Amino acid sequence: MSGGRRTAPGRRRREARAGLAFVAPALALIAVFFVVPVLAGFALAATDFDIYGIGDPGTVRFVGLANFTALLHDPVFWRALLNTLYFVAVGGPLSVAASLAAALLVNSRMARFKGVFRTVYFAPVVTTLVAVAVVWRYLYHPRFGFANQILGLVGIPPVNWLGDPHWAMPAIILMAVWKNFGYNMIIFVAGLQAIPVSTYEAARVDGASAWQQFRHITLPALRPMLVFVGVITMIGAFQFFTEPYVMTGGTGGPLNATLSLVMYMYKQGFRWWNMGFGAAVAFVLFLIILAGTLLQLRLRREHE
């Protein structure tokens, strides 16, 4: 064989050809089943595509921003947007706080059976959301649900959890926190284990209390993870759909109190076949999530 190992032009060409061939299936799938639909979605939002459009695409007309104008005047859309913001603004921080607390508990130096507790806390994460939402629907049953029985033990009158517009969203948030806190807990535990034990020991020698150690050592060390976890939790929360779908029988009720943006898109697009209008709702969701992601990048850059 002549020529150096890395300079043989035939070999380089073969490697380049193989590289393209190896990425081709993935790229083709992503292009056809993701990129094209996303672009088509933007176009769809500017049309009046509806049930007639499915039968005969010839009836579809370009309507410009008419769907977005209609959206702005649609009280149900605003309801869905506010519900979604409620879920994100209350459920997000609650979920991150629960994850952090659980991580501090299972990672405590004095704790025993750490592995068992960690596995138990994580179990809800892997469960099927539809199935556990069914379970929680019964836990929230106004007459024989466990939620009201626990309240009854301390003398609080029963609450119509999923039937009362004021309580339906808190009930769903509580269930979502239960389902998800284990995921972020794992990320926090990894972060906590990266803090050298000697830092805490030095602080204790200096007489720092447990709270001071948490405030001045743990929290600053976890800051990058808090930003990351905060944003992925927020982005995930903006897309909630299954919880209200299962727990309110596909309505988003009572009185649209749990209707989320994605659910509204689903109802408009797939139940009433107002696909142009539904695509406009999806576009709003896209803008919100894009803003969230840019915020994350900004925060991370500031940190670095």
Partner 1 sequence: MKRAGRVTALHLALAAVAVATLLPLLWMLSASLMPAGEASAWPPRFLPSRATLTNYVALFQRLNLGRCFLNSAFVAVTTTALCLLVTSLAGYAFAKLRFAGRKRIFGALLTAMVIPTQVAMLPLFLLMRSLGLVNTYWGVIIPGVAPVFGIFMVRQYALSLPDDLLDAARVDGASEFRIYRSIVLPLLRPILVTLGVFTFMGAWNDFMWPLIVLTDETRYTLPVALANLLGEHAQDMELMMAGSVLTVLPVLVLFLALQRSYVEGIAMGGVKE
CB atoms within 10 A of CB 297: 10
Task: Report if residue 213 touches partner 1, rule: CB under 8 A.
Answer: no
Q: Is 135 near partner 1 (CB under 8 A)? A: yes
Tell which positions 74-133 bind partner 1, by CB under 8 A. Answer: 102, 105-106, 108, 110-113, 117, 119-124, 126-132
> Left, alpha or beta for 64 (phi > 0: left; psi -120 to 50: alpha)?
left
290 binds partner 1 (CB under 8 A): yes
Task: Check binding of 211 to partner 1 (CB under 8 A).
Answer: no
**Would you say 52 and 59 are in contact if contact means Cβ atoms under 8 Å apart?**
yes
Alpha helices in 56-206 (DSSP H): 66-72, 75-86, 92-106, 114-126, 129-139, 146-153, 165-193, 197-205
Q: Which of 139, 171, 172, 222 binds partner 1 (CB under 8 A)?
A: 139
Task: Please name which of 292, 267, 238 lies closest in space to residue 82, comparing C-alpha atoms.
Answer: 238
Among 187, 192, 234, 259, which residue interacts with partner 1 (rule: CB under 8 A)? 187
Nearer to partner 1, 94 or 235 (CB): 235
**Binders in 238-257 for partner 1, by CB under 8 A:** 238-239, 241-242, 245-246, 249-250
183 touches partner 1 by CB under 8 A: yes
At its nearest, how many Å lie between partner 1 and the CB of residue 157? 17
CA distance 24 to 99: 40
Q: What's the min distance (Å) between Cβ of 98 and partner 1?
A: 9
In 3D space, the residue among 133, 139, 130 whose CA is nearest the CA of residue 159 turns out to be: 139
The whole-angstrom separation of Cα 137 and Cα 129 is 12
Give min distance, CB of 224 to partner 1, in A: 7
Number of residues written out for the chain: 304
Number of chain positions touching partner 1 (CB under 8 A): 101
Shortest approach of partner 1 to residue 248 CB, angstroms? 11
Q: Which residues pair with 47 in a beta bridge?
A: 62
Binding of residue 65 to partner 1 (CB under 8 A): no
What is the chain's Cα-based Rg? 25
CB 80 within 8 A of CB 261: yes
Which of 230, 244, 252, 278: binder of partner 1 (CB under 8 A)?
278
> Which of 239, 228, 203 lies closest to 218 in space, CA to CA?
203
Share in percent of the chain as helix, strand, coil (round to 5): 75, 0, 25
Q: Pick the piece of the chain touching partner 1 (CB under 8 A) from 79-87, 89-97, 138-146, 195-203.
A: 138-146
Which residues inside 8-37 make contact with partner 1, applying CB under 8 A?
11-12, 14-20, 22-23, 25-27, 29-30, 32-37
Residue 235 in the binding site for partner 1 (CB under 8 A): yes
Kindly state whether residue 234 participates in binding partner 1, applying the rule CB under 8 A. Answer: no
Shortest Å, Cβ 227 to partner 1: 9
Q: Does 156 bind partner 1 (CB under 8 A)?
A: no
